[in-house]
Amino acid sequence: MRILLSESTTTLNDDKNNTMLLIITNKDDFTVDFLITRLIELDKPYFRLNSEDLSEANYHFFAQRNSIESRLKVTGKEVDLNSINAVWYRRKLWVNPSESLVSGQRRFVAGEIINLIEGLVANPDILWVNPMESVILP
């Protein structure tokens, strides 16, 4: 699979010609807005996941004998996680659990949410534009 976004080649290609791109970032990442504008122009599906919204997200998992359904709903938008076949990990995941929790509980909840998101997209069939370990702390 190749992802090509340039003036000379303005297509988002893969073997199925139906790439769903998951963009993991934060609300302050304005650079990603330029890519999203281009994806919209090209009518290419994407889902922007801002880490600040993770503690308010709804996760749905349903396992049957031959299939697993997993969906993520954040800020009124929903994505079928099985439809994602490319991930662009732009910004380190920063989760901000509820202030009503004590410090130790907040750290625990943040760690669990980060592990959940990383696990949801840890699929060998998914193209990672950049590996998670390549994104360093600011």
Per residue of the chain (138 residues), give pLDDT as tens: 233 333 323 334 444 456 789 998 888 888 899 999 999 999 999 999 888 888 888 888 888 888 888 888 988 999 998 898 888 888 666 777 778 888 888 889 888 887 877 776 677 788 888 766 666 554
pTM over 0.85: no
The domains located in the chain, with CATH, are 2-132 (3.40.50)
Instruction: State the DSSP string of the chain.
Output: -EE--SSS---EE-SSS-PEEEEEE-TT--HHHHHHHHHHHTT--EEEEEGGGGGG-EEEEEE-SS-EEEEEEETTEEEEGGGEEEEEE-S-------TTS-HHHHHHHHHHHHHHHHHHT--TTSEEEE-GGG----
> So what's the pLDDT on residue 24?
87
